[in-house]
Amino acid sequence: MTQLNSHFYVAIMAGGIGSRFWPHSRTDNPKQFLDILNTGKTLLQWTYERFAQFIPKENIFVVTHHQYTSKVSDQLPELPTANIVSEPSRKNTAPCVAYISHKIHKQDPLANIICAPADHLIMDGPAFTNACLNALLFVQKNSALVTLGIKPTRPDTGYGYIQFEPQHVADNVYQVKTFTEKPNLELAKTFLQSGDFLWNAGIFVWNVKTILAAFKQYLPEIDELFEQATPALNTPQEKEVMEKVYPQCTNISIDYGIMEKASNVYVIPSNFGWSDLGTWASAYENLEKDYLGNAVQGKNVVVIDATKCMVKVPNEKLVLLQGLDEFIVIDTNDVLLICKKENEQQIKEYVGEIKRNKGEKFL
């Protein structure tokens, strides 16, 4: 067991809606608070436990939308209430990172921080710990913005890609050449063959001073807002001040705002059984399947001549599935989704269509 370093922190980002997991993931109960893979624990609980192996518990923060603070508290009763950081509105990841960075910097100017999503699946805990510690030790000594890149196993079009320089600058640390948004299939195949591209896992590591300097340089308007709010951070006035700050923040991701612009960006190629669990197909990949390749969650599902389907239905409901091939079938109390697996990236758009035509009742 590695000695826990008092200057190592983690900010778990847990404010998203998870709309591609609709209708199981809803606005009032998004996917990070769900047990998507029937493991007995929610994705947030797994994420917290993973970090608690090597980060002091008092240094673990969860940043979430204000409507979910009680959910975080219920699911992580051992987390101090002060470590649940409430965002008054959703403004993407850059304001989220700026907020928690200024907050932690005020508490510990020597902090080294991992910023990670709450809803990812990681199968190899020890390999993940090693990658994170390698990153933390590197940023402690270097003015570097580090991201963990995943060695790709297939030409996936659902992930962003990171291209890296061939020569390492430290143990398994490489300078980043380019970031590429989700490519088409042909480009993804080229990336896979080249050998110098990784999936962007959206897990970032940096020293608090390095990330704040990057905000000053690349997102000065956001930095200034939180800089002015610093006297209120970690005081009873924080909530009230944040309610004034957030409406003024640009809605922008940390990737667009800083990582794709900065010159001191590095990547650690990693292999720890990662999935962002972004879609039902990614859940399907990680669930047990019957002899026809169906991943079935539900105690009363009868399958006849159906293959490679992702099925999730309430235990008390009898569902008979006949003749479907590679479909997603998700049933909840008030919504039934039947969608071809190949169209699952469009679920987010379908949710938008429902919002326009049916209001927010089913979201």
Confidence of residue 3 (pLDDT cuts 50, 70, 90): low
Domain 8-275 fold: Spore Coat Polysaccharide Biosynthesis Protein SpsA; Chain A (3.90.550)
Q: What is the model's pTM?
A: 0.92
Q: Return the structure tokens found at 58.
A: 């008092």
Q: Is the pLDDT of residue 4 over 80?
A: no
pLDDT of residue 2: 47
Domain boundaries, the chain: 8-275, 280-358
Cα-based distances in Å from 187 to 60, 72, 234, 342, 360: 38, 39, 46, 18, 37
What average pLDDT does the segment 133-158 reach?
A: 93
pLDDT of residue 20: 84
Q: Is the Cβ–Cβ distance between 230 and 176 less than 8 Å?
A: no
The predicted-structure confidence for 49-96, as pLDDT tens digits, reads as follows 999 999 999 999 999 999 999 999 999 999 999 999 999 999 999 999
Q: How far apart are CA 241 and CA 258, in angstroms?
A: 25
What average pLDDT does the segment 221-250 reach?
A: 97
| Nearest Cα residue to 97 out of 180, 214, 19 | 214
Q: Is the pLDDT of residue 109 over 50?
A: yes
Q: Is the Cβ–Cβ distance between 277 and 16 less than 8 Å?
A: no
pLDDT of residue 188: 85
Residues in the chain, overall count: 363
Q: Is the pLDDT of residue 232 over 90?
A: yes
What average pLDDT does the segment 318-340 reach?
A: 95
10's enclosing H/E stretch is strand 8-13
What average pLDDT does the segment 172-191 reach?
A: 89
